[in-house]
Amino acid sequence: MKKNMLVLIIGLMITGLYACNKNSNFDPQGGELPTHYISFRDSSFSPSILTVANGSSITFLNQTNTAFTLVGDDSSFLKPVVIDANSFYFFKPDTANAVSVQIYIPYHNVERPTARGTIILNP
């Protein structure tokens, strides 16, 4: 009985170790480039200007206790989206046609219009 219990415990430990092992085939949402973070707190975005490589992804973090609406000044890149309190929004601009020019994506918080920022995509 003790031997069976010991085998069971060892089996569970080994299973637990394999379950915690990282999968080397993990493909993050942002593809090959890492995501960049823009946080909103204290009525402002940080950083307010973010320069990234074309094809990069951006994750907006709402670090407040209230939801807000994020919108691009030109909605062709960033359409209005509500980001819940203490939540996030993953954004990857569709820039396949603009591979040789720098693209500026200004955005703001609808509820606090003075909270503004800009994403600059470099070719």
Least confident of 8-17, 49-58, 107-116: 8-17
Fold topology of 29-122: Immunoglobulin-like (2.60.40)
Token pair 């955005």 in the structure block, residue: 107
Q: Identify the residue with better confidence: 69 or 24.
A: 69
One DSSP character per residue, 70-111 reads EEESSTTTS--EEE-TT-EEEE----TT-SSS-EEEEEEESS
Q: Domain map of the chain by residue range?
A: 29-122
The tokens of 40 are what? 């909103």
Give me the mean pLDDT over the 23-28 stretch. Answer: 41
Give the Cα separation of 95 and 82 in Å (integer).
23
